[in-house]
Amino acid sequence: MSNNATPVISHRQPRVLACVLCQHRKIKCDRNTPCSNCIKANATCTPSTPAPARKRRRPNQDLQERLARCEELLKQYAGGSVPSQADLQAAAPSVASVTTPASTFKAETSDYSPTYDDFPDRRHPGKVIHQDGGVRFIDSQLWSTFYDELQAMREIVDADDPEGSSVLGTEGHTPENNADVLLLSDSSSANPEDYQPDPVQAFRLWQIFLDRVNPLTKIVHVPTLQPYVIEATSDSSGVPLNYQALLLSVYLLASIALQDSECMQLIGISRDQAVQRFTAGTKQALIKLDFLRNSDMASIQALVLFLYSLQGRYDRHAAWVLSGTIVRVAQKMGYHRDGELLGLTPFETEMRRRIWWQILMQDTKLAIVSGVIHNSIQDSYDTKPPRNLNDADLFPGSTEPVQPREGPTEMAFILITSRLTKFMLSESSRMGFESAIMGHDPNNADEPQDPSIKAKYKAIIQELDRDLLDIEQRYCDPSAGNVHSAALTIRAMLIRKLDEMLVPMQEQPEWGTEIFEPKDNLVKLVLMNNEQSADAYDRMAPLGFLWFVKLHFQLEVFGVLTGQLARRPTGSLSDRGWRIVEKVHRWQPELFDVSVKAYASQAQFTLKAWKAREAAYNALGQAIEIPSFISRLRELVPTSDSRGSTQSCMTSPQMPPPQQTINDLDQFLGGYLDVSSLSWDMWGDMTNTNTNNNNHQAQGAFFNGFPLGPEMGGKSANPMQ
């Protein structure tokens, strides 16, 4: 080889970075000049400039010391021993600096959260980590220490060798997107942009959300979200995926808050079509986002609103499973720890409180309706309840503490429901309520009840009444808006409902005439539950919140009422029951849709109960006026039984046989109880089946209705597509 050969010099192509606008929006840049996103946005495309190269140096002493400390901690951990507090503090002084003494922690949280005496490491608040565009939470002090060390080492390596920092930049391989395990999608190739409404529809739905939904939920910060609404109307593809999911969930709940005629007028499609469209869009956006791994505030807001939309149209047990997933996502992001302990900004702290307590409320109600009395979530959080602040009082990025207001604000309804959530979470409020209501120990029905039990729960109700009255007097003003009027309706309805449940059956006005034994008293409790739920329609409809009450309608509890009316055709309780049935049919017109199996079965039960009432009045020689809703049901379900024939509708040629009807009922109850084991002798002469008694359904009815109870029906009459 010639010594004069010219050496080959390699030239590395300069790395093209995303432009400034795409980096700010966190969207993919095609790295052209100008890029397609900037062209769409009609903005100047400014290329990013790489950070100046730093002089490469040998690993310094600080890095070596941190590696040695990590190795020592890992050796202790691998050996089965837990590193001491001194070892952890020596390894990561920054962690020790943010801990809170146990006495201070307990004093600060005792008025709003469970006791933490059973948690040995309660002094460590944990750590919120912002990484790769998402948020996650580390509760373990050991792993929090490791993270601090790795982060410090990453910064050292990055300072010495920016290109070599990728060695510490990941925590293993990236798993595949498995979000569709929980949110099944019919069209994985569809884009969330395909489900966005046109600009006029978007603004109309946004306004409906602000008027009817946001005052009752308050988990979005309107001044922060509104710019994304405006941006989506011009180019939805430029909106980050997490905010696309949030906007679609907003449109979904807004559609649910509309009447069908309103929906046709405002956006030109039926309410059912709108709900199906935005349900599919929200699911698609969450799946594309891979919400199980990529979680931030916007994505969890979308999840909470999506869960809210499932009430009344999705199987309650499946909804509770999804709710549990949302709880885990929130815990992974540290929402169960108060932002003040985590050193977060006032804005993020307050928004996390609003979101977490909405999750608490929904998960607790779903747990109750799914038959879970002790919910593990109640023992694992210290997040304070939301404070009395308007959205205008909160500013993203602000570090100045915000003092809660005195007097009415936008949070009136949330302050009430947060106190009710605390009541539901309290195990003493729920454990034993059944025996207090039933008048005996459920494990020993023959054993007389200790009078002190009713006194105990009466005191709990009185405490709740005092707290709610204090909130009303300090923060609620009917002149401040409809949401305040709605908030003022809750206490009176709820306390009256709870008080009536605890009245001994011997003190009931019907004692000795219509009430003779505990199961008669239970019938009245079911009637009162339906009665007070029906009253909520009249109270909330003029305020624009009828949709909220309708979400809490339980078809199976209504079916229990009509079953009792078939067995008790006359009397004061029967008269009250039929007034409820008429009112429910007025506010729930979907009950006339007999193309849905659940509603067709309910129509049969209602007509059978009315036939028994007519027969009883005829036997007494008295005439009875036929209500319009009965006439309409008879037109829709033209059976011989519905026209008053002596032939039973259960055995007519046009109706299914008794066992088939039972199976249909079990389907529309969503498997909530085993209807084959129900005592139909107790609940009404509905079929010939008469086996073991099961009072679990009635127990669930105690917490039904607005705003405490099981909000979900059985399997949906209008299932989520």
Query: What per-residue confidence (pLDDT) applies to 704?
Result: 43
Backbone phi and psi for residue 205, each to the nearest 5 degrees, phi listed first? -65, -35
SS3 (DSSP) at 280: helix
Tell me if 215 sits within 8 A of 242, measured CB to CB.
no
Please give the average pLDDT of every successive group of 10 residues along the chain, which has 721 residues: 51 74 84 87 84 61 72 65 55 40 34 39 61 61 58 60 44 42 57 90 96 96 96 89 96 95 93 94 91 90 94 79 91 93 94 96 82 67 94 92 94 95 72 50 50 80 93 95 94 87 82 83 82 88 91 82 88 92 92 89 91 93 92 82 40 36 36 33 35 36 38 35 35
Token output for 637: 């379900």
Query: What per-residue confidence (pLDDT) applies to 316?
Result: 76
How many residues are there in the chain? 721
Tens-place pLDDT, residues 602-620 = 999 899 999 999 999 999 9
Query: What per-residue confidence (pLDDT) applies to 97?
Result: 36
DSSP 18: P
Q: Closest by alpha carbon to 95, among 129, 130, 59, 65?
A: 129
Burial of 295 (0-12, 13-18, 19+ CB in 10 A): buried
Indicate the CATH number for domain 14-50: 4.10.240.10
Residues in a beta bridge with 131: 134
Residues carrying CATH 4.10.240.10, the chain: 14-50
Query: What per-residue confidence (pLDDT) applies to 220?
Result: 97
Q: How far apart are CA 690 and CA 677, in angstroms?
A: 8
Buried b (16+ CB within 10 A) or exposed e, 399-432: eeebeeeeebbbbbbbbbbbbbbbbbbeeebbeb
Tell me if 366 sits within 8 A of 551, measured CB to CB.
no
Q: How far apart are CA 490 and CA 503, in angstroms?
A: 20
Q: How far apart are CA 132 and CA 99, in angstroms?
A: 26
Q: How far apart are CA 386 and CA 413, in angstroms?
A: 11
Token output for 437: 């209501």
Quickly list DSSP for 518-561: HHHHHHHHHHHHHHHHHHHHHHHGGGT-HHHHHTT--HHHHHHH
Tell me if 195 sits within 8 A of 277, measured CB to CB.
yes
For 535, what's the count of Cα atoms within 13 Å in the CB-facing half-sphere? 16
Within 10 angstroms of residue 215's Cβ, the number of other Cβ atoms is 24
Rounded (5°) CA angle 326-201-307:
15
Query: What per-residue confidence (pLDDT) applies to 644?
Result: 44
